[in-house]
Amino acid sequence: MNDYTHDSRKFILGGAIIIVLLVYIIRLFSLQVLSDEYKTKADSNAFYKKTIYPSRGLIYDRNGELLVYNQPAYDIMFVPREIKGKLDTLELCSALNITREDFEKRMEDVRNPRSNPGYSSYTQQMFMSRLSAEEFARFQEKLFRFPGFYVQKRSIRQYSCDAAGVILGDIGEVSPKRLKADSYYVRGDYIGTQGLEASYENVLRGKKGVEMLLRDAHGRIQGKYRSGALDTMPERGKDLTLSIDINLQRLGERLLKNKIGSIVAIEPSTGEVLCMVSSPSYDPHILVGRQRGANHKKLANDKRKPLLNRAIMGTYPPGSTFKTSQALTFLEEGIITENTPFPCHGGFVHAGLRVGCHPHPAPLPLIPAIATSCNGYFCWGLLRMLSSNKYGKVQKAMNVWRDYMVSMGFGYKLGVDLPGEVRGMIPNAQFYDKAYRASWNGLTVISISIGQGEVTLTPLQIANLCATIANRGTFITPHVVKSIENDTLADTYRTPRETMASRRSYEHVVAGMRQAVLAGTCRGANLPDIEVCGKTGTAQNKGKDHSAFIGFAPMNEPKIALAVYVENGGFGATYAVPIGALLMEQYLKGELSADSKIKAEEMQNRVIYYGEGER
C-alpha cells in the first residue's frame, strides 16, 4: 500500500525550497543587475565623479551687441556619508558666515524627499550655491578641514545692460517638479525660469561633462582615473542672436517710465520683434547671485506686477485700432465699398441706442472714417453685416465675422517664442447665445465694432495687426530669436500666413491710416521725409481711458510696425502717438533729432500713477 501522505509532503517541501531559491535568485538579480544602489556605493568608495558644467550660450541683439554672458560662480557640495562624525560644524559655519540654525536647515532640506527627490547619502548634494569669487577664496583656504565637502565651479548669468528683463528672463535653481520630469538635472542645477532663458533652455544649456577621479582607502582624491580616459568633455550651449534692437528697447523703456503699458515693434517682412516693452519692468542684474530669491520675491509682491510681460500676458480692449480689422471685413464681405457713406450725428444712434463720437464732418465714406476714427461709421457697418439677409441668421453672420478676426491673428495664441502668451478674447455666436439665451442681435453686440465690449487683445496681437496691414494681408508669426548658432528656426517663424481679406481691401485701409497721419487723429506721428501710416485708439476703462496707437512706416516699403498701449493715458494722441513717433524715428533714422530728444525727455518725465491717470 502506497504512503500518499509521505509523497505529498515531499512535493510540498521540495516546492517550498524551489520557491525560496527563486526568491533569492530574483532578489540577487534585482540588486546586482536592475538596481544600481550597490554599484553606486562601491563606485562612491573608489571614485569621485565630478560634473563639469558647460558654458551657457551667449545672447546678442540683432546688431551683434552682447546682452547676456557668463561669469564664474562656485557651489559648495558635500557627500553625506563622508562627513558623518568628522565635521566641525561651528568652524564650517564660521568659514561660510552662516549660523548653526542655517546649517541645520540646509541639512534638513537636503534629506527632505519632497524638496530633494532621489536623495542618496552616497552622492553629492548641494549645500550652498553661487558663492562669489571672494567668498570662494576665503572658503578654499580652509576646505581641507572639512572632509566630504567639495567646490563645484559653475557659471552664472551677467548682463551688459539694464533693459529687456522680461524678454531675457533669468536662471534659478531647478524645481523638484522639473527634477522628476527630466533626468538631465540634479538638485542644485540651474535652469531658465522665465523669458528666453526658459523657452530656449534646451538650446542654451549645453551638455554636461564628467571627470572621473580616484579615491584612496581614506576617501582622499588621488588624481584622475586611468589618466582621464573615461572623462567626457562638456558641450557649450548654443548662442542666440535676437531680433531685438537693444537701442530701440532702451528708448521704449525710457518713454514708458513711470507708466503702465506696453510697446511692441515688428519688422513686417520677417515677423522679427524689434522691441517688446512691458512697463514697469526691472533691471535683470538684480536677479543674479545670492540675493536673487529675495529680489524675486519683492518683484512678485509688487502690485504693479513688474514680472508680468504685458506684451503677451496683458489683455486689453483694442479700442479704435480695431476699426481697421472691421473695415477689412466689411469690404471683403461686400457690406460696404470704399465709397459707402454712413451718418454720424454725434455718434451712432438707432432704436434708442446711442454710441457717442467726437465732432467731425458727416456723413462720410470709409477712408475719412478711418482718418477721423468715426465710431458711428463702424457701428453702422457691423449692424448692416449682422442684419444682412446674405447670412440668414445673426448667428451665421457672427461666426463669419469671427472667422475673419481669427484669420488676422486674434482669439488664439500667435505662437511667439516666449513663455506665458495668452489668447485674448474674440466672441462667437455660441458665446452670445449662452450669454443672452439666444435672444440677441446686432445692436446687442454693437460695441465690438469699435474694439470694446467682449473683445480683448494682447499688445502683441495689436502690433501684429499693424504688421499685417503693412504687408497688405500676410504676416509671419512674431518671434524674438533671429537665429540660433549652427541651427535653424522653426518653420512657423519663416512661413507667411494669409488673412481672409484681399490686398485691395488692405490698400483702402492703408490709405485711411495715411490720411489719419496727414490730417486726422494721428497728426502727431507725422515725420519729415517718412510716409507714416497710423491709427489711434482710446479704449474705455473703469478709470481713465487707455491710450493706444498702431503705426507703420514707410508706407510702401515698411520696415517697422508697432503698437503702443498706455494704461490710463487718455486719448490715443496724448501718450501713444508721440511715443510711437519717437520709436519709428529712432529705428528708421538711427537717432533722434535735437527736438525729438527734448520730446523724449519730456515724455520720460511724465507720470501716470498706478490705476489713477496722470498727475
Active site residues: 320
Alpha carbons 599 and 450: distance in angstroms, whole number: 30
Write the DSSP assignment of 422-452 as a string of letters. ---B---HHHHHHHHTT---TTTTGGGGGT-
| Cβ-Cβ contacts under 8 Å for 512 (sequence gap 6 or more) | 324, 327, 366, 367, 368, 369, 370, 371, 535
Alpha carbons 100 and 94: distance in angstroms, whole number: 9
Alpha helices in 308-413, H assignment, sequence order = 310-313, 323-332, 366-372, 375-386, 394-407
Give the count of beta carbons closer than 10 Å to the beta carbon of residue 63.
11
Alpha carbons 188 and 193: distance in angstroms, whole number: 14
Q: Are strands 533-539 and 66-78 parallel, antiparallel or unpaired?
A: unpaired
Q: Are strands 47-52 and 209-215 parallel, antiparallel or unpaired?
A: antiparallel
Alpha carbons 118 and 112: distance in angstroms, whole number: 10
Alpha carbons 219 and 232: distance in angstroms, whole number: 23
The candidate with the shortest Cα–Cα distance to 287, out of 157, 419, 185, 164, is 157
Q: Please give the single-letter amino acid code of residue 135.
A: E
Give backbone dihedrals phi and psi of 51, rounded to 5 degrees, phi first: -75, 135
Residue with cell 494721428: 522
Whether the Cβ atoms of residue 566 and residue 547 lie closer than 8 Å to each other: yes
CA 533 to chain centre: 29
Give backbone dihedrals phi and psi of 485, rounded to 5 degrees, phi first: -55, 125
Alpha carbons 367 and 510: distance in angstroms, whole number: 9
Whether the Cβ atoms of residue 579 and residue 255 lie closer than 8 Å to each other: yes
> Residues of 256-270 as b/e, b for ≥16 C-beta within 10 angstroms?
beebbbbbbbbbbbb
Q: Please give the single-letter amino acid code of residue 283.
A: D
Give backbone dihedrals phi and psi of 565, rounded to 5 degrees, phi first: -135, 120
Grid cell listed for 516: 489719419
CA 350 to chain centre: 44
Instruction: Indicate left, alpha or beta for 276 from its phi (over 0: left) and psi (-120 to 50: alpha).
Output: beta
